[in-house]
Amino acid sequence: MKFIKKSVLSLVLLAGITLGTSSANAACKAHLGDFDWDSANIHTAIASFMIEHGFGCDVEVTKGSTTPIMAAFFDGQIDVITELWEDNLVELLKPHFADGSIIHMGTNTPASEQAFWVDRATAEAHGLKSVEDMKKPGVWELFKDPENPSKGRMTSCISGWTCYTINFVKLKEYGLDELYTNFDPGSGGALDAAIAGAFAKGKPIFSYYWTPTSLMGKAEIDMVRLEEPAYTADCWAAMSVVVEDIKANGQEAYVPSCANEYKDMALTKTVRADWAAENPDVAAMIKAYALPTEKVNEMLAYYVDESDGDMEATAIHFLSSNSVWESWVSADVAANIKSAL
Amino acid sequence: MIKIIKKYINYLYLAVFVVLIVVSYLSSKRKPDNVTELFTDLGWLNNFPKWLDVPFMHWINTGWRWFSSEYGLVFDAIGYVLLRAYVITKNLLVDTPWPLVVLGVVALTYFASGKKIGTTIFVGFCTFSIGFLNPRFWDKAIETTTIVFIGILLCIMVGLPVGIAMARNPRVRNAILPVLDLMQVIPSFCYLIPGIILFGLGAIPAIIGIFIYSCPPLIRLTDLGIRLVDKEVIEAAESFGANKKQKLWGVQMPLALPNIMQGINQCTMMALAMVVIASMIGTRGLGDEVLLGLQQLNVGSSLEAGLAIVLLAIVFDRITQAYGEKIQEKTQPTIKKKKYKI
């Protein structure tokens, strides 16, 4: 009996303590949405460290693939997205920007590339410079799909991501779908491993990929970007309509339209309007947050090679070896962050 | 020599532990500037110190790089054989008209279950329903089935001999049990991602994954089944002058068959679970429909694909269970025994 009394008492006491601490921090909360690729992880790690230690907020990070995270963001469960591949999601974002529930927070990383790539050795040996060259007789056999030997394998984007559907349309428009499979690697890690594995074995690889990424920063990974028809806004808009239609209604919804290269796009940031109104100073920091592509690649290389795969350590390394972030926040917030390093 | 080692084995472990700590300190990038700081500043007792970190990751990465470049060809060969088996079986089944496949499954169930009409009709209906749910699922279910089938064949080829060896020799059992624990517990992505580097994306790493994930129950149940055979029965066999080989194949294996069939059944169920996870590494089949539904936030489509997997599981389960029961009726004639008692 005594034991029960004691344990109940201690439980009550404990509850009191936890309630006390949480109500003390509840003044400011930030829920960051993170994605399953490493450049997004790095921005989320840096931003969450700054918000947590600089502004003393409760920070929560949820990581997932694009569709569920964006759905949670539109639904109001997530407040901040630190790296947004806006051009891939134009149609999806439009209504939410229009009704003012989310706010565009400017550029995060000014330039990124998405494209089709071929490993340099194969590209030089066979003179592969553009997507047209991939149609040359015999070229597809270099990339033969082991499970479907009548076609070559174009290791594509992950099937739930918009780029998978974009690649599907592109292959059709370029007339490559007769020769290559739009092969879904299943997850970001599997795509990386497929490319790394091809280089480790010295085998040809034809793949969709993007920068900034740690894999592209590695010395042994050397790939050639295939040229595609130049970007025009009209063509892209026409394609986006078809892409959204396919996403909603399946691949049968494909109609011939147009295709051109991915725009080297600026990665942007976005927050929820209601959250920004409650936390104007944190929102101002998010708005000021911007890093050049080289810096991101450098951080990614540090993450992979030196941090032992520790994103928080990478964020701390960035904050302690750079001063660019001090201009994003006020002096006393910067002092808070510095003392936490 | 062995005696000496046994006597001092604990000291040896201690020495290895100390060496590991020293190595981790020396190789860490976050160690204090001077060793003496450890004694003056005791802050490291508060939080787990960053320098107390065995560089296990580096060892594995270095070893892995060496391994994959040295033995890459071996894995290419294994991959080629499995791939041939996969492609041939899959194409054969995909090219067969679907009513024939359903009829084949029905016939298989009919004979495997010992001509039980109820089970046969139920399994036939489930098989038909996979395509009935969504016609696109039919070919995908065949791809999944082929992968599971080859994975199980591999499990049986390796699992049965290992299970027999374990049952016959306690030393082998003691050596293999921790390996089985490791195989069952280690998160599947730990071996699926290296699998991609060795075998490329697709069905082959999934088959290897199935092998690692679903072989342990088969091995365990084979081992258990053989050891559970009545001592008296074995003594009887011995008294008739059976040698070790005759004892195994004539007495132990037939009596252990129900258990082994249960092992194969469990192996099948786990293989189906793994083939869904393997869709994350680009394995075609019903799993990638579930994954797509998840990534597109399409509850209906992922649930539909999930149901198709359940149906497939029921088909596998019913056939193997029914076959197991049939064997059980043969080897353990419980009804007859009761008659004798009376």
Per-residue pLDDT reduced to its tens digit, A141-184: 899 888 888 899 999 988 878 888 999 999 999 999 999 999 98
DSSP A268: E
B25, B174: one domain: no
- CATH number for the domain spanning A74: value is 3.40.190.10
Test A149 with B284 for CB contact under 8 angstroms: no
B105, B231: one domain: yes
Distance CA A117, CA A126 (A): 14
pLDDT at A45 over 70: yes
A234, A133: one domain: yes
Report the domain count for chain A. 2
pLDDT at A19 over 50: no
Beta bridge partners of residue A104, listed in sequence order:
A270
Distance CA A15, CA A1 (A): 21
A74, A200: one domain: no
CB-CB neighbors (< 8 A) of B202 in chain A: 146-147
A261 within some domain? no
Q: Give yes or no for a contact between B287 and B274, defined as CB atoms under 8 angstroms apart.
A: no
Report the domain count for chain B. 2
Q: Give yes or no for a contact between A228 and A131, defined as CB atoms under 8 angstroms apart.
A: yes
A322 within some domain? yes
Name the amino acid, one letter, at B7. Answer: K
A334 is written with which tokens?
């910067």
Q: Give yes or no for a contact between A299 and A42, defined as CB atoms under 8 angstroms apart.
A: yes
List helix spans (H) across chain A: 2-25, 38-54, 66-74, 90-98, 120-126, 139-142, 162-173, 188-201, 214-217, 233-249, 273-278, 280-288, 293-305, 311-321, 331-340
Test A200 with B72 for CB contact under 8 angstroms: yes
φ and ψ at B83, to 5 degrees? -65, -45
B30, B150: one domain: no
Test B200 with A247 for CB contact under 8 angstroms: no
Residue whose C-alpha is closest to residue B218's, from B281, B174, B176, B251: B176
Is B297's Cβ below 8 Å from some Cβ in A?
yes
B114 within some domain? yes
> Is residue A116 within a helix (H) or strand (E), and if so which, with residue range?
strand A102-119
Pairing of strands A223-225, A102-119: antiparallel
Distance CA B262, CA B260 (A): 5
DSSP B188: T
B82, B166: one domain: yes
A73 within some domain? yes
B154, B282: one domain: yes
Query: What is the band of A303 on the pLDDT scale with cuts at 50, 70, 90?
Result: confident
> Is residue B89 within a helix (H) or strand (E), and if so which, with residue range?
helix B72-95
- The three state secondary structure string of B209-257 is HHHHHHHHHHHHHHHHHHHCCCHHHHHHHHHCCCCHHHHHHHHHHHHHH
Query: What is the band of A189 on the pLDDT scale with cuts at 50, 70, 90?
Result: confident
DSSP A87: G
A317, A221: one domain: no
Q: Which of residues 112-171 of B touch A (CB under 8 A)?
A: none
- CATH number for the domain spanning A133: value is 3.40.190.100
pLDDT confidence of residue B310: 92
Query: How many A×B Cβ pairs under 8 Å?
Result: 89
B139 within some domain? yes
φ and ψ at A102, to 5 degrees? -125, 155
A190, A246: one domain: yes
Distance CA A320, CA A310 (A): 15
CA–CA min distance A227, chain B (Å): 26
Q: Please say which residue of A224, A253, A282 terminates a domain.
A: A253
A216, A98: one domain: no
Test B87 with A184 for CB contact under 8 angstroms: no
B96 is written with which tokens?
């067969």
B17, B103: one domain: no
B130, B215: one domain: yes
Q: Give yes or no for a contact between B162 and B176, defined as CB atoms under 8 angstroms apart.
A: yes
Test A159 with B292 for CB contact under 8 angstroms: yes
Q: What is the mean pLDDT of chain A?
A: 84
Q: Which residue in this structure is represented by tokens 């947050």? A: A289
A232 is written with which tokens?
């025009």
Report the Cα B88 to chain-centroid distance in Å.
23
Q: Which residues lie closer than 8 Å to A304 by C-beta, 6 or more apart?
A: A38, A214, A217, A218
Q: How many CA atoms lie within 13 A of A147 on its CB side?
A: 24
Is B73's Cβ below 8 Å from some Cβ in A?
no
| Three-state secondary structure call for residue A81 | strand
Pairing of strands A102-119, A180-183: unpaired
For every one of its 342 residues, what pLDDT tens digit does chain B have, with 9 covering 90 and above? Answer: 778 878 888 888 999 999 998 888 888 777 777 778 778 877 778 888 878 888 888 888 888 888 887 887 888 888 899 999 999 999 999 899 999 999 999 999 999 888 889 999 999 999 999 999 988 899 899 999 999 999 999 999 999 999 999 998 999 999 999 999 999 999 988 888 888 888 888 889 999 999 999 999 999 999 999 999 888 888 888 888 888 888 888 888 888 888 899 999 999 999 999 988 898 888 888 988 888 888 777 888 889 999 999 999 999 999 988 888 888 777 665 555 454 544
B246, B316: one domain: yes
Structural domain for A239, as ranges: 112-253
Distance CA B196, CA B180 (A): 22
Structural domain for B49, as ranges: 2-54
Handedness of CA A200, A202, A205, A210 (dihedral sign): positive
Distance CA B271, CA B156 (A): 12
Task: List for chain B the helix, strand, coil content (%; round to 5).
Answer: 85, 0, 15
Distance CA B256, CA B223 (A): 9
Test A147 with B281 for CB contact under 8 angstroms: no
- CATH number for the domain spanning B294: value is 1.10.3720.10
> Other C-beta atoms within 10 Å of B202: how many?
28
φ and ψ at A258, to 5 degrees? -160, 160
Q: Which residue in this structure is represented by tokens 């480790």? A: A200
Is A65's Cβ below 8 Å from some Cβ in B?
yes
B92, B217: one domain: yes
Q: Please say which residue of A222, A253, A284 terminates a domain.
A: A253
Q: Give yes or no for a contact between B201 and A185, defined as CB atoms under 8 angstroms apart.
A: yes
Q: Please say which residue of A195, A227, A253 terminates a domain.
A: A253
A210, A282: one domain: no
pLDDT confidence of residue B216: 94
A193 within some domain? yes
Residue whose C-alpha is closest to residue B188's, from B101, B296, B278, B105: B278
Q: Which residues of B280-302 are buried (b: 16+ CB within 10 A; e: fewer)?
A: bbbbbbbbbbbbbbbbbebeebb
Beta bridge partners of residue A58, listed in sequence order:
A29
A309, A245: one domain: no
Query: What is the band of A332 on the pLDDT scale with cuts at 50, 70, 90?
Result: confident
Distance CA B6, CA A171 (A): 66
A187, A216: one domain: yes
Test B201 with A190 for CB contact under 8 angstroms: yes
Cis peptide bond prior to A212, omega within 30° of 0: yes
A38 within some domain? yes
Considering only alpha carbons, which residue of chain B is nearest residue A160?
B295
Pairing of strands A206-211, A223-225: unpaired
pLDDT confidence of residue A24: 43
B59 within some domain? no
DSSP A109: E
A321 within some domain? yes
Residue whose C-alpha is closest to residue B313's, from B107, B144, B187, B189: B144
Query: What is the band of A18 on the pLDDT scale with cuts at 50, 70, 90?
Result: very low
Q: How many CA atoms lie within 13 A of B227 on its CB side?
A: 14
B19, B155: one domain: no
A40, A55: one domain: yes
B20, B81: one domain: no
B150 within some domain? yes
> Other C-beta atoms within 10 Å of B118: how many?
8
B48, B100: one domain: no
A10 within some domain? no
pTM for the complete prediction? 0.74
Q: What's the angle, vertex CA B222, arms to CA B216 and CA B224, rounded to 5?
A: 100
A72 within some domain? yes
Distance CA B112, CA B107 (A): 8
CB-CB neighbors (< 8 A) of B286 in chain A: none
Mutate to test the interface with B, among A65, A70, A187, A341 (most CBs of B within 10 A): A187
Residue whose C-alpha is closest to residue B151's, from B234, B273, B247: B273
φ and ψ at A209, to 5 degrees? -160, 180
B63 within some domain? no
Residue whose C-alpha is closest to residue A226's, from A316, A335, A113, A332: A113
A65, A195: one domain: no
CB-CB neighbors (< 8 A) of B295 in chain A: 65-68, 158-161
A255 is written with which tokens?
């109609």
| Three-state secondary structure call for residue A26 | coil
- Among A22-31, A289-298, B15-24, B277-286, the range scoring the smallest mean pLDDT is A22-31
* Facing residue for A186 by CB, picked from B69, B200, B281: B281
A149, A246: one domain: yes
Mutate to test the interface with B, among A154, A308, A314, A316 (most CBs of B within 10 A): A308
Handedness of CA A290, A293, A299, A300 (dihedral sign): positive
Rounded average pLDDT over A194-208 = 89
Distance CA B186, CA B171 (A): 24
Distance CA A235, CA A229 (A): 10
A291, A334: one domain: yes
Q: Give yes or no for a contact between A108 and A83, defined as CB atoms under 8 angstroms apart.
A: yes
Q: How many CA atoms lie within 13 A of B115 on its CB side?
A: 0
Test A158 with B295 for CB contact under 8 angstroms: yes
